[in-house]
Amino acid sequence: MILVTEVESWLFMDQLTANQAAVPTILVEKDQTRARSFTPMRTLFQLKKWTAANAFIPLLSCDETAYKAYEVFHVDALPPFALLQGGRVLLRANESDAAYEKALAMSGKTTDEDVLGFALQYLKEMLDDEIVLASRLDLTAVSRVPEDVYVPGDVVTTGQRLFAWANAEVERGA
């Protein structure tokens, strides 16, 4: 099972939220002007575990330039792949995948849902493994993390629930 997760809303929080969190947090995104995103330490440990197992793919809305600000994905938890711009760009070991760009262009997919659906199917075929999506987008043709895992506005609880669910799924062989 490979977990594709909208990290901006499921796992990462802004500095104000991090300052108010009841758990230790760590900086995961910093641009030239300021610290931008944080995640709970417990979530970082899970990210390290899942990326080391090549079983976690971040899904972000940003482009490649903005992705470079996510230090966590370049230092602590290097993912085998990353989906940027909602699936319009696929990075392989943090480098743009030209074959994917060509395949996406040839597919004619243009809507956000169709592009992401194409990206997930592409990854499933390439990796020959089940892709499970943690996202608020409604993609019916894709395996999804259960709705009750996500807690709107609470990335601490959402991250804990997400990895607890995913670890249980792996343990039971799903």
DSSP for 23-90 reads S-EEEEEE-SS-EEEEEEHHHHHHHHHHHHTT-EEEE-SS-HHHHTT-GGGTTT---SEEEEGGGTEE
Q: Write the single-letter amino acid at 135.
A: S
Q: Which of 12-26, 120-134, 138-152 has the lowest mean pLDDT?
A: 138-152
Q: Write the single-letter amino acid at 45.
A: F
d(CA 93, CA 27): 21
Q: Taking all residues of the chain, what is their mean pLDDT, rounded to a whole number? A: 93
- DSSP 8-state code for residue 111: S
Q: Say if CB 142 and CB 157 are below 8 A apart.
A: no
3-state secondary structure of 159: helix
> What is the tens place of the pLDDT at every residue in 27-37?
899 877 778 89
Q: What is the pTM of this model?
A: 0.94
